[in-house]
Structure 1
Amino acid sequence: MVRGKTQLRRIENATSRQVTFSKRRNGLLKKAFELSVLCDAEVALMIFSQSSKLYEFASSSMSDTIKRYRDRVKDTLTHTSQCPEDVQHLRQLAAGMAKQIELLEVAKRKFLGECLGSTTCIEELLPIEEQLERSVRLVRARKMQVYNDQIQQLQSKGKMLTTEIALLNDQYQLQTSDESEERIENFILMENKDTSSDVETELLIGLPKRKIKNN
């Protein structure tokens, strides 16, 4: 579903307008700060609310930036007044770029399936269809590449898990074998102990007793 173009107009509700102003103001000040830091640009921003409250940001000095701006505008106006041919050339370039942007917007809407009602011949639709088919092929190729990359990652993880399982099995078998040997040794020791307890160890001194036969 194509998202429609947002219509910009004054917010009638005062509370919603103030909330939107606060959010957009903070976002604008944050973007100005990021631009000055990331691009090493000299940025000065002034915002007056509906109640004439001033909000400003300057990466260096607000007064120096304003002075620099005034000097630049003065030089631009002087240069423009001296070179009307350049101004005309710039206007032509701007008009050409605006026309090109408009054509690109129309082409984009056609690729999105919009504004096709004005198309009256097949020849106009064939290039759009070919471009869409090329785009679909590129998207599918990229999708297959992503699938293959994910499959390779899963296979690598599977091999690692298999190796870890084999190591754990070896450790388990080794531990089980040691415990079995220990149990056998304990069993043998217990058997030897029981056997030795049955042997008579009493020491007798004197002649062995004889039975007296009755005549």
Structure 2
Amino acid sequence: MGRGKIEIKRIENTTSRQVTFCKRRNGLLKKAYELAILCDAEVAVIVFSTRGRVYQYSNDNIKEILEKYKKYHAQTSKSGSYVDINSQQYYQQETVRMHQQIQTLTSSNRNLMGNELSTLSLKELKFLEGKIEKGLTKVRTRKTELICVEMEYREKRGLELQNENTYLRSKIEENLRGQQAIIMQPGVDDENHPEFDARNYYEVNMMEVPPHYAHHQDHTELHLGFKTTTGPST
């Protein structure tokens, strides 16, 4: 398992804090020694413990290193103050320049929108007109390009749809021809259209009276005969 990260804050337990101090101090002095040997650097490390003890390491005379540090710090402080003044002036100038640039761009934008033209001279108006015309030319050119692209896409899509329509029509005609060929084959429609068979029908004599009609006629004759017999004699 790897070493877990610990939160960098003051260790409250005194014993743990002392143990950690010893370990970290030895590691710091070791790293300082390695830095001095490997990189040929002048290194000086001074550590004060909470009890006031001093631990130090130096690959050279520590007093000479401290004197060199004091001189460097004094020079840096003087030059640093000069650099701070110059930096402050530079940032002030940049701030003013940026404000002026913002105002110029804002005014130019308003003029392009057709506002605040009363303060412009004839030369400035001509310059503004040329700028607007150049912008319109670029806009129209881009618009024409997009229209051409859209028309090409529509033509391409129309050809694709036409080809798909032609293909579907050919498939429909092919299916119709197949169905007609199947219908025209002999014996295929025997089940749907059976041939005429005389045995399935009765012979009908046009001169023969149907049975139900004959029965009705006999009944009428009897009824009429009954009336004849029961009526007065002539």
Please report the TM-score for the alignment, with normalisation by the length of structure 2. Answer: 0.45
Larger radius of gyration: 2
Bigger RCO of structures 1 and 2 (CA < 8 A, at least 6 apart): 1
Please report the TM-score for the alignment, with normalisation by the length of structure 1. Answer: 0.49
